[in-house]
């Protein structure tokens, strides 16, 4: 190589680095100048803002990011994180994003399996609007309702309800660190869904900033938009500031249990029967199954299944139901615990016995790890032979986990088109597949290949035409082309998988309220393209 070339290369690198750094500074300055110029005078304090040059940037970025895959150095980071403390801050951010052509990522909790709220696979620089400081909860027992800001966790909401009443609850997530704003936009299922439906089914009003920077409630936005945001997925139609939810009645004492089965103890036959019983049993009873690989006493690989339940009633009544409808479970009096509803929340979230409800105010996630997840819906039972084939594949990765959540009850009574969440009548259960690891990119390809193979194995046994998936377990594999490349296009299969026949209506509403596609991410609802019309 000529000597002049050796000198030129480092000079070019310096120039490129300086240009990138200078561009980032200009981007930040322009956005902040616009932001502060558009904040309403009645907002007493400005929002907190963090750029990569700020010492707290990484801490804030990681604060609610559960999937460490999207914090890797190779993943593009935001140019700025804005944390509003007032709704006018959100309005200003939308105004500036539209004016400057800036991509916004919306984060209200971080239980975001594919990191679309805090990472990006698109080319443009982006800003995170992190709503973690908007977390007020106001409970009105006389009205059987509550207002909850988007950045509060579902655990905080549960706790605030329990302070006001021992006989009120809300049917939403089992994991208490979920951010309310995004959780309800995708549906929000939980241990009371067979009795009362989803969190989104029980949302009755909202405050949302639209693409024009206006704050709208249900009446102002109209029923079409209010329909779309309850199950149509986060980051599509606007920025949720707060939900008004309808509270539901719960007994002063409910009953919980966990019964463990291994393959050697008849797990396969019990799970086969569970598929037939769990969606049809008393709607006050929710029995989910948590499946994990383990080793038996001989050191051989096996599978353990934990049948974990909430019953909205007393233990003696529960025993009668299970002995009549599900004797294969072998439930006994010693397995039962009668607790308050808020104590059942802690139990289902796998907190140790004796944990005080105040832990819910800490809003700590159950896990932070490198992971990949997928979902499926069953409309017919997986036969025993199919389960045995699943076990052979399941035990091949020690980081694997499956959770089978039963449907039926109220979930079968609500029409598919009531809200965008379509997985209703005829659904036996939803399956969540998860694989996690701790060594970063070193073993990522092996774990990713494993979960894709398991998901592929289940194809003959799960829903089809379309094969359904849960939007709150977003899966960017569904947007890949046959060569494994990202294909973020309107025709990608995820639209029908997440929303079934509701997808076209979501596209129509998106076209009406956000035609310029301000609220966009890798699997956001796309507007219809603007058609050029010939002159004359």
Query: Which positions are annotated as active-site residues?
Result: 473
Q: How would DSSP label each residue in 377-426?
A: EESSPPPHHHHHHHHHHHTT-TTEEEEEEE--THHHHS-TTSSS----TT
The span from the CA of 209 to the CA of 421, in Å, is: 22
Instruction: Dig out the tokens for 286 from the structure.
Output: 């929710």
363 CA to centre of own chain = 15
Strand, helix or coil for residue 514: coil
Q: Which helix (H) or strand (E) holds 49?
A: strand 48-50
Residues 6+ apart with CB under 8 A from 442: none
On the CB side of 72, CA atoms within 13 Å amount to 18
CB 169 within 8 A of CB 188: no
The span from the CA of 463 to the CA of 387, in Å, is: 16
- Largest Cα–Cα distance in the chain? 88
The span from the CA of 267 to the CA of 306, in Å, is: 10
Residue 28, preceding peptide bond in cis (omega within 30° of 0):
no
Bridge-based pairing of strands 203-209 and 168-169 is unpaired
The span from the CA of 521 to the CA of 120, in Å, is: 8
Write down the H helix ranges in 122-261: 154-164, 180-186, 193-196, 218-221, 223-229
On the CB side of 230, CA atoms within 13 Å amount to 25
CB 89 within 8 A of CB 151: no
Strand, helix or coil for residue 233: coil
């Amino acid at each position: 190589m000529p000597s002049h070339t050796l000198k030129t290369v480092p000079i070019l690198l310096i120039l490129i680095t300086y240009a990138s750094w200078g561009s980032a500074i200009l981007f930040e300055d322009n956005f902040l100048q616009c932001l502060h110029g558009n904040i309403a005078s009645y907002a007493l304090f400005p929002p907190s803002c963090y750029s990569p040059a700020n010492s707290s940037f990484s801490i804030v970025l990681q604060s609610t990011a559960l999937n460490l895959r999207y914090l890797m150095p190779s993943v593009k980071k935001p140019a700025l994180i804005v944390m509003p403390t007032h709704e006018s801050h959100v309005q200003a951010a939308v105004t500036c994003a539209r004016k400057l052509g800036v991509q916004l990522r919306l984060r209200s909790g971080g239980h975001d399996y594919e990191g679309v709220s805090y990472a990006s696979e698109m080319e443009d620089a982006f800003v995170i609007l992190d709503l973690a400081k908007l977390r007020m909860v106001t409970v009105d027992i006389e009205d059987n309702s509550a207002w909850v800001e988007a950045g509060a966790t579902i655990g905080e909401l549960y706790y605030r309800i329990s302070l006001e009443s021992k006989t009120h609850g809300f049917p939403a997530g089992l994991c208490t660190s979920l951010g309310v704003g995004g959780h309800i936009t995708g549906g929000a299922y939980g241990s009371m869904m067979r009795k009362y439906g989803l969190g989104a089914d029980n949302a009755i009003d909202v405050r949302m900033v639209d693409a024009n920077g206006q704050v709208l409630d249900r009446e102002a936005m109209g029923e079409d938009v209010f329909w779309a945001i309850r199950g149509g997925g986060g980051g599509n139609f606007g920025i949720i500031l707060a939900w008004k939810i309808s509270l539901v009645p719960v007994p002063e004492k409910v009953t919980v249990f966990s019964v463990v089965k291994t393959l050697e103890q008849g797990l396969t036959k019990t799970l086969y029967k569970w598929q037939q019983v769990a969606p049809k049993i008393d709607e006050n009873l929710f029995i989910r199954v948590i499946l994990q690989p383990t080793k038996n006493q001989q050191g051989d690989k096996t599978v353990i299944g934990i049948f974990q339940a909430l019953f909205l009633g007393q233990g003696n009544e529960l025993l009668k139901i299970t002995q009549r409808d599900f004797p294969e479970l072998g439930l006994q009096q010693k397995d039962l615990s009668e607790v308050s509803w808020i104590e059942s929340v802690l139990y289902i979230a796998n907190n140790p016995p004796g944990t005080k409800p105040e832990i819910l105010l800490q809003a700590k996630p159950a896990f932070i790890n490198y992971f990949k997840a997928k979902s499926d819906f069953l409309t017919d039972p997986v036969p025993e032979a199919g389960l045995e084939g699943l076990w052979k594949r399941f035990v091949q990765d020690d980081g694997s986990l499956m959770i089978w959540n039963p449907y039926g009850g109220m979930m079968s009574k609500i029409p598919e088109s009531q809200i965008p969440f379509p997985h209703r009548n005829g659904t036996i259960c939803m399956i969540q597949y998860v694989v996690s690891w701790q060594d970063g990119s070193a073993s990522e390809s092996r774990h990713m290949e494993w979960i894709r193979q398991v998901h592929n194995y289940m194809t003959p046994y799960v829903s089809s035409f379309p094969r359904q998936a849960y939007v709150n377990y977003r899966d960017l594999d569904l947007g890949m082309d046959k060569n494994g490349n990202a294909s973020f296009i309107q025709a990608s299969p995820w639209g029908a998988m997440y929303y079934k026949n509701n997808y076209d209506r979501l596209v129509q509403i998106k076209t009406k309220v956000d035609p310029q596609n301000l609220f966009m991410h890798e699997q956001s609802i796309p507007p219809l393209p603007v058609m050029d019309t010939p002159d004359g």
